[in-house]
Structure 1
Amino acid sequence: MAKRLNEENSIADVLKEFIQTNNLQKGMDKIDVREAWKKLMGNGVLNYTTEIVLKNETLYVGLSSAVLKEELSYGKEKIVNMLNEELGKSIIRNIIFR
């Protein structure tokens, strides 16, 4: 049976407990990474982004423009650092542009 929480817990605490109890953190990280990409890259890059997938600390980004793919590949390390900073933790170690 689930652990009974006292009445004074905040909703944030209850949600954190629920995520930990049900092992949902990896799924939440995938959603957070997509949102961080959208926020940091802006509309110019988003128009050419076809997919964003996080697998085992590697972010796979599908791009429909070869020129943009080449341009972004020069700044992989900076993009990784910016995304991890936005997320508040080190989730991404590598980016592969497809």
Structure 2
Amino acid sequence: MAKRNNSILNIQDALKDFVESNKLEKGLNKVNVRDAWVKLMGNGVNNYTTTVDLKNETLYVQLSSSALREELSYGKDKIIKLLNEELGKDIIKKIVLR
């Protein structure tokens, strides 16, 4: 029979330990980045966004409008800063707009 751990642990610490022990942080970061993109960019940009994918420290965003892609390319640094602030940690170092 498994030994029961009687120490009291709050739910936040328990979930954090679970995520770290099962190596789920990369997957959660991908989901959190997509959610942050939708929240920060608004409906105008999201209507033209086809995919948002995080690989390593690079965010790949595919857009269906070349004019919007050009416009967003001027503010890449600001977008990176806003997304990292929303996520609460430095996950994104570079953005590639396609």
1:14 Cα deviation after fit: 1.2
Do the aligned partners of residues 47 and 35 (structure 1) sit closer, same or farther apart at CA in structure 2, a change above 3 Å counting?
same
Give 3-state SS (helix, strand or coil) of 1:95's partner: strand
Encode CA deviations 1:7-40: one digit per residue, 9 max, x unaligned: 6322222111100000111111111100100110
- Do residues 40 (structure 1) and 62 (structure 2) align? no
TM-score by length of 1: 0.92
Task: Name which one, 1 or 2, has greater alpha-carbon Rg.
Answer: 2
Alignment match, 1:86: 86
5+ long unaligned stretches in structure 2 = none
Do the aligned partners of residues 47 and 5 (structure 1) sit closer, same or farther apart at CA in structure 2, a change above 3 Å counting?
farther
5+ long unaligned stretches in structure 1 = none
Percent identity reads: 63
Cα RMSD (Å) = 1.8
Specify the code of the residue in structure 1 equivalent to 2:51: E
Alignment match, 1:25: 25
Q: Runs of 4 or more off by more than 3 Å in structure 1?
A: 2-7
Q: Which moved more, 1:7-16 or 1:50-59?
A: 7-16
How many pairs does the alignment contain? Answer: 97
Encode CA deviations 1:36-88: one digit per residue, 9 max, x unaligned: 00110000000000000000100000000000000000000000000001111
Give 3-state SS (helix, strand or coil) of 2:18's partner: helix
TM-score by length of 2: 0.92
Specify the code of the residue in structure 2 equivalent to 1:72: L
Do the aligned partners of residues 6 and 65 (structure 1) sit closer, same or farther apart at CA in structure 2, a change above 3 Å counting?
farther
